[in-house]
Structure 1
Amino acid sequence: MITGYHISLKLCRYLKLRSFCSNTIPERRRVRSKMDMELKSRDNPVVIKLDSPEFHNIFTQEVVDLKKLFDKYQHEIRIAGGAVRDLLMGHQPKDLDFATPATPQQMKDMFMAENIRMINMSGEKHGTITPRINDKENFEVTTLRVDIITDGRHAEVEFTTDWKLDANRRDLTVNSMFLGFEGNVYDYFFGYDDLKRRRVAFVGDADVRIKEDYLRVMRYFRFYGRISEKPDNHEKSTLEIIKNNVDGLQNISGERIWMELKKILEGSFSGALLKTMLDVGIGKHIGLPLEPNIEELDRVLIRGRHLGLHPMSYLAALLRDMDEVTVLHRRLKFSGYDREMLYYIVEHRENKEAHPHRPLLPYEKLVLNTKIKQKDAVDYVREVLKYRGEEKLLEEFNKWELPRFPMSGKILKDNGVPPGKMYGPIISKLKDIWIDNNYIQTAEDLAKLLPGIIAEIDMRK
């Protein structure tokens, strides 16, 4: 007889038996805690009217045409979420997302009637339609909604026409505001006040908000780095709730975690936030070792933080060897570029034997003898120097012009060297000589050395 423990995850989902699967979180209807039930909201949600240059700059012709279209069909539309937060902070938003009471079907009917192409229809079940306006710019427009069933990763939603209910389902107060096209900022749950105080807080009950989607643990730290003015101004109660919920990250995909973690490590207070995340127990759920190398991280922060470290330098500091790099990559699934950078830093972060008159020489050799793309090798060596805090060498490396090795297989052939296995050792030896002589030798100079090098190789056989 097949038991629940033998049912594959895929079959388990199909049979709606997720509670039998050891690596899933059971579906649960949206919980309204006492805190949520008593949550205060503004009687008048309009808190300010924007008239800033940043606000006016968002009105491209495509944005204006989108608004005209919704006006024509008598559907309200507002700017939602992060763009509102950014504008209130005086930043120019990179992206605009929109919200509307119009249902996905009403939007599809409207866009089809106007011969407007829609793309990425996979978001429709969650209420998102993406029109391409003027065949130039795509906008995500999402129907107001509430989460009915959540499993810690996904939600089944129900559409609504109530702006406050939609704001109430969002993660952080500073992300729960809307912006009308006339400039009015609609803030139901005091996100504007929190933003002025540089406070990062969940909407309502933090424990419930996190259990709805455990990725919100990572989002908390990401937005803390964007909004807070101090590295250690967390509310103890929030960190305690996060600590009690970090196990839920085990069920979040590595790709989604890495998207958030990378942004954390690119933001303000990245080192301090990383240590706070480790303190609350996040590390083991995202692929970091049980005993990360905090001492090395502290050293790297002291000597290289002001140099603009890449996220991989922070992670490399916590890892002791290449095996730990492999484990972390297996969990977070880095891009090829990021993965190879992490391996590279761990491999080359120790002291290099320096030439008395050419301290940069070991790093020049790393680039010139690389088996990977030279452009990537240059990036990786630059990051190794940042990691080590070698500010003077970094400055010298940034000024260094990559020399072009003058020899090639064709030149060897033209000089009488028969094609074969000797080409590799000969080229390698000539390159070493060329590097050691500060790249002054021409192809003709190096060709004169061929008889001696060939004889030396023959003697080793």
Structure 2
Amino acid sequence: MWSHLLRRGLSVAMSGRPAALQVDTEQFEALFTDGLKQIAELFSKHHYELRIAGGAVRDLLSGKQPQDVDFATTASPQQMKEMLSSANIRMINAIGEKHGTITARVCEQNFEITTLRVDVLTDGRHAKVEFTKDWAMDAERRDLTINSMFLDLDGNLYDYFNGLQDLQNKRVRFVGDPEKRIQEDYLRILRYFRFYGMVAADLEQHEEKTLLAIQENARGLAKIAGERIWLEVKKTLLGNHVSHLLSLVYSLGVAPYIGLPVSSLEEMLIVCERSLNLQPKPMTILSALFQNQEDVRKLDLRLKISREEKNLALFLLKHRRDMHPGDEKDPLEPYKDLINQSRDPLIRERTYELLKYQGERNLLSDLQGWTVPCFPISGHDLRVRGITSGKEIGIELQRLRQLWKQSGYTADKETLLENVCR
């Protein structure tokens, strides 16, 4: 599976010196837009090193096209600002500057470039950093080995902690001591789960010392903002091994600190199994852990979920037990009724998620191909026929809608108007 890296070979540097071979893939070459070429020439002209960093390197080595590309450099933030200003390159002001990140805008493209850093003080949420020119020291402060590699613009890979080997073996490991890495930023517990679902092939590739470090430091997540936690949890729920990873979240004592309820995991395991390959939304899976509306309220309080995520959870909680397929003639009838009787524009999407939750693959496909019929009668139609009272119009519309429902939503306007009570 790694042959795609070896068109001209793969260069790996363990001590700061790359070997003779290089990464040469379509994904790598696609990065070289006019904007990047201009940035690269500028840094080269001023004798500053510039390399692709972190997740983009991991993606390139996995044969994926990176969605976001971050760069690292030996230039200080001030040196970058002076250099970019002299070249009349626009810089976008951002809060990242105090941490060493400058965002350059070239050819309608943003380039986030960060000075190499070392952590001098951490509190589990934030880090006080100092700038360095040592690539290995910057790599050492990163979370996972697979995220600690660099790739220069000639395709040379700099790998100080065996990240490539771990990626090839589908292993997820912290850089150095897991406990130290976690205590620098407790969110790394959830990042470990997320990347395990992204990279690992098997359920039991965890290192015992990593699981122990997570268990002993889980309470540190209590100090992490809910929005940051929810972002990682959602990404985990969209990956592989979801039921296994959620089970670990509970068995390692993480759940109470991220807002998840005290819950039996049986329903969750069932929902994960029957919704496999149906691409359920994260909240659809998570809803299997809720026993009542109070569980949803507490999760919202902790994680600051969106209004629609909360509404979806409440919708599933309400209908997951009482909604079942109809008779053989039209098993979709209850779900169609649910959609037609609601004026909520998001009801159809929620009903899809309900069918995923229930594992109704065929019904989901049928419902997705169903065109929602439009009720053919309006209040104006009734006024033309002499019904002028608003209350009477409302009652009659409701009665006609019921007749329309009984017809399987096939009765046309003329047929329904024949049944108007005068």
For 2:323, the equivalent position in structure 1 comes to 352
Aligned counterparts of 1:104 and 1:422: Cα–Cα separation in 2: 72
- Name structure 1 gaps, 5 residues minimum: 1-40, 453-461
**Secondary structure of residue in 2 paired with 1:46:** coil
Aligned counterparts of 2:125 and 2:384: Cα–Cα separation in 1: 64
Aligned counterparts of 1:103 and 1:428: Cα–Cα separation in 2: 70
* Cα contact 2:14–2:158 (8 A) shared by 1: no
Choose the corresponding residue for 1:255, options 227, 244, 265.
Answer: 227
The question of 1:127 aligning with 2:100 is answered yes
- TM-score for both structures, normalised by structure 2: 0.92
The question of 1:298 aligning with 2:269 is answered yes
Matches within 5 A, 1:427-442: 427-442=397-412
After superposition, the CA RMSD in angstroms is 1.8
* Cα contact 1:415–1:447 (8 A) shared by 2: no
For 1:61, the equivalent position in structure 2 comes to 34
Shift of 1:199: 1.3
**Secondary structure of residue in 2 paired with 1:307:** coil
Q: 1:436–1:411: structure 2 CA closer, same or farther, 3 Å change rule? A: same
Deviations 1:401-428 (A, max 9, x none): 1111112233233333325344444333
Aligned counterparts of 1:253 and 1:106: Cα–Cα separation in 2: 33
Q: 1:429–1:63: structure 2 CA closer, same or farther, 3 Å change rule? A: farther
Output the amino acid matched with 2:87: E
* Cα contact 1:167–1:176 (8 A) shared by 2: yes
Output the amino acid matched with 2:405: I
Q: 1:369–1:157: structure 2 CA closer, same or farther, 3 Å change rule? A: same
For 1:207, the equivalent position in structure 2 comes to 179
**Secondary structure of residue in 1 paired with 2:372:** coil
Shift of 1:45: 5.2
The question of 1:93 aligning with 2:66 is answered yes
Output the amino acid matched with 2:178: A
For 1:307, the equivalent position in structure 2 comes to 278
Q: 1:174–1:429: structure 2 CA closer, same or farther, 3 Å change rule? A: same
* Cα contact 2:140–2:175 (8 A) shared by 1: yes
The question of 1:182 aligning with 2:154 is answered yes
* Cα contact 1:104–1:129 (8 A) shared by 2: yes
Output the amino acid matched with 1:412: L
For 1:173, the equivalent position in structure 2 comes to 145
Output the amino acid matched with 2:45: K
* Cα contact 1:45–1:188 (8 A) shared by 2: no
Shift of 1:49: 2.0
Q: 1:79–1:432: structure 2 CA closer, same or farther, 3 Å change rule? A: same
* Cα contact 1:104–1:127 (8 A) shared by 2: yes
Shift of 1:192: 1.4
Shift of 1:282: 1.2
Q: 1:71–1:353: structure 2 CA closer, same or farther, 3 Å change rule? A: closer
* Cα contact 1:83–1:93 (8 A) shared by 2: yes
Choose the corresponding residue for 2:242, options 249, 267, 270.
Answer: 270
Output the amino acid matched with 2:276: R
Shift of 1:54: 1.6
Aligned counterparts of 2:380 and 2:304: Cα–Cα separation in 1: 41
* Cα contact 1:271–1:314 (8 A) shared by 2: no
* Cα contact 2:54–2:150 (8 A) shared by 1: yes
Output the amino acid matched with 1:343: L
Aligned counterparts of 1:286 and 1:216: Cα–Cα separation in 2: 13
Deviations 1:64-93 (A, max 9, x none): 122112122222110000010111111111
**Secondary structure of residue in 2 paired with 1:94:** coil
Aligned counterparts of 2:367 and 2:256: Cα–Cα separation in 1: 37
* Cα contact 1:386–1:394 (8 A) shared by 2: yes
Deviations 1:336-379 (A, max 9, x none): 22222222111111143654322111101111112321xx2111
* Cα contact 1:319–1:325 (8 A) shared by 2: yes
* Cα contact 1:293–1:317 (8 A) shared by 2: no
**Secondary structure of residue in 2 paired with 1:78:** strand
Choose the corresponding residue for 1:246, options 214, 218, 240.
Answer: 218
Choose the corresponding residue for 1:116, options 89, 93, 100.
Answer: 89
Aligned counterparts of 1:354 and 1:107: Cα–Cα separation in 2: 62
For 1:198, the equivalent position in structure 2 comes to 170
Shift of 1:216: 0.3
Shift of 1:436: 1.9
Matches within 5 A, 1:299-448: 299-352=270-323, 354-356=325-327, 357-373=329-345, 376-448=346-418
Choose the corresponding residue for 1:225, options 181, 187, 197.
Answer: 197
Percent of aligned pairs sharing the same letter = 45
For 2:48, the equivalent position in structure 1 comes to 75
**Secondary structure of residue in 1 paired with 2:273:** helix
Aligned counterparts of 2:154 and 2:14: Cα–Cα separation in 1: 20
* Cα contact 1:150–1:213 (8 A) shared by 2: yes
**Secondary structure of residue in 1 paired with 2:174:** coil
* Cα contact 2:242–2:272 (8 A) shared by 1: no
Q: 1:66–1:205: structure 2 CA closer, same or farther, 3 Å change rule? A: same
Q: Identify which range, 341-350 or 202-211, moves more after superposition.
A: 341-350
* Cα contact 1:243–1:280 (8 A) shared by 2: yes
Shift of 1:204: 1.0
